[in-house]
Amino acid sequence: MNIIDDLKWRGAINQQTDAEGLKEIVKEKKIGLYAGIDPTGDSMHVGHLIPFMILKRFQLAGYRPYILIGGATGSIGDPSGKKSERTLQTMEQVEHNQQCLTKQMEGLFGKDGSFNIVNNYDWLSKLSLIDFLRDYGKSFNVNTMLNKEIVSSRLETGISYTEFTYQILQGIDFANLFKAHDVQLEIGGSDQWGNITGGIELIHKLHGSDAKAFGLTIPLMLKADGTKFGKTEGGAVWLDPEKTSPYEFYQFWINTDDRDVIKYLKYFTFLSHEEIEDLADKVKNEPYKREAQRRLAEAVTEFVHGKDAVLEAENITKALFSGDIKQLTTSEVEQGLKNMPSMEVTNEKKNIIEWLCDDTKIEPSRRQAREDVKNGAVRINGDKVTDVDFVIDPNAYFDGKFVVVRRGKKRYFLAKVK
């Protein structure tokens, strides 16, 4: 199947500058293509994955992907959909972020030489103001620039010249990659359409109207309830395991709504059409089994964090559901109960009633604590405790770092030992 047809089946195409021309050229040759990201932060979140999943598909099909990290554009900021200017970062912070993003990209795309990472600072920093105005400024019409949606939406509140010229810099990027590396396709979000077409127009002015350059944008990803994809109550879902643990990452995908799961399987996994269609039937006929969600969580977590992270996430999930947490490692406890109610305790051995009521405030009173213990409603580190004279030893489990309490069937508490 032609890769463009595959992308259409997956619902991954929003707009194309020349649909027939692009479909023909990807049949003729293994073109170069690129997607960009500015180092405005030190980690991508799952929303950033969207264009790079398309790039990865081209890589797997043998094409030549380029990832552009905007060391130059990231230092000035693009005009976001917000009504205020971006805060400029120091060059030191931009450099740090660039190194972090490079490491993440290498994790996703490998180190086998089948893709390239470029930095637009390498060519934009060499442009003098006169060269910028003479060689490129003449090719951009101000009226056209004002009509770009990302700019026009800001005219009422105001936009700086710096952010206004961002579209020129992005156009220069495409033109430079076209000339230096024969990159003929730029991929971006739907909000990048104006910038992408601006780059193609620049290429045509510099190299002739028959120069083969193409643009493709991806749809805005919304959940079935109309909210923005990738956001949770706790904020963004990051690719950095220090910001979002692999277990939390896995849980994000496994909790996908039935109405969204097939869309995400098509977009965020490399499963075959046949397997996805089979999972779609299972969602329709056996939704309670949530097989599609499990397959989605496994596939995306493995892609981002590796097979070991999947096994770890599944182990934590199983242990928390069954209550058998003694099998978990200290690291897994920290991941799995990261967002549970927590408190600090000393490593002093104490009677369970006193500890539950006075030290941790898990129980509202000693009377309630005694009642819950006698009724078998309290588990300490996975063991049911029914003896009101039981003594808790904070050093007994999990390397003396944690005491895990389960009260009732589902409520977990994490006591961190000082």
Where are the chain's structural domains? 3-218, 231-321, 342-417
170 is catalytic: yes
Instruction: Write down the catalytic residue from 8, 96, 207, 231.
Output: 231
Query: 216 — phi, psi (to 5°)?
Result: -140, 130
207 is catalytic: no
Q: Tell me the C-alpha distance between 129 and 135, whole Å.
A: 10
In the predicted model, is pLDDT for residue 86 greater than 80? no
Each residue's pLDDT tens digit, 349-399:
999 999 999 999 999 999 999 999 999 999 999 899 999 999 999 998 899
In the predicted model, is pLDDT for residue 80 greater than 70? no
Instruction: Write down the catalytic residue from 45, 57, 205, 338.
Output: 45
**What Rg value do the Cα atoms of the chain yield, rounded?**
26
pLDDT band at 120 (very low <50, low <70, confident <90, very high): very high
pLDDT band at 220 (very low <50, low <70, confident <90, very high): confident
289 is catalytic: no
In the predicted model, is pLDDT for residue 156 greater than 90? no
Same fold, 3-218 and 342-417: no
Instruction: Write down the catalytic residue from 27, 82, 179, 349.
Output: 82
Q: Quote the pLDDT of residue 305.
A: 96
- DSSP three-state, residue 185: strand
Q: Quote the pLDDT of residue 410.
A: 79
In the predicted model, is pLDDT for residue 256 greater than 80? yes
**What CA–CA distances, in Å, run from 29 to 26, 33, 183, 251, 339?**
6, 12, 12, 40, 50
In the predicted model, is pLDDT for residue 83 greater than 70? no
Instruction: Write down the catalytic residue from 10, 38, 40, 64.
Output: 40
pLDDT band at 157 (very low <50, low <70, confident <90, very high): confident
Looking at CATH, the fold of the domain delimited by 231-321 is given as: Tyrosyl-Transfer RNA Synthetase (1.10.240)
- pTM, two decimals, is 0.85
> According to the annotation, is 231 in a ligand binding site?
yes
* Among 8, 12, 10, residue whose Cα is nearest residue 219: 12
Q: Quote the pLDDT of residue 338.
A: 84
> According to the annotation, is 34 in a ligand binding site?
yes
191 is catalytic: yes
231 is catalytic: yes
393 is catalytic: no
Q: Quote the pLDDT of residue 111.
A: 83
40 is catalytic: yes
In the predicted model, is pLDDT for residue 163 greater than 90? no
Contact, 202 vs 136, CB < 8 A?
yes
48 is catalytic: yes
In the predicted model, is pLDDT for residue 81 greater than 70? no
330 is catalytic: no
Q: Quote the pLDDT of residue 159.
A: 82
Eight-state DSSP code of residue 378: E
Residues 6+ apart with CB under 8 A from 285: none
Contact, 125 vs 76, CB < 8 A?
no
Name the superfamily (CATH) of residues 342-417. Answer: RNA-binding S4 domain (3.10.290.10)
CATH numeric code, 3-218: 3.40.50.620
48, containing H or E segment: none
111 is catalytic: no
Residues 6+ apart with CB under 8 A from 238: 43, 44, 45, 244
pLDDT band at 117 (very low <50, low <70, confident <90, very high): very high
Q: Quote the pLDDT of residue 75.
A: 85
Instruction: Write down the catalytic residue from 99, 157, 182, 232.
Output: 232
> According to the annotation, is 418 in a ligand binding site?
no
> According to the annotation, is 192 in a ligand binding site?
no
Residues 6+ apart with CB under 8 A from 211: 178, 203, 204
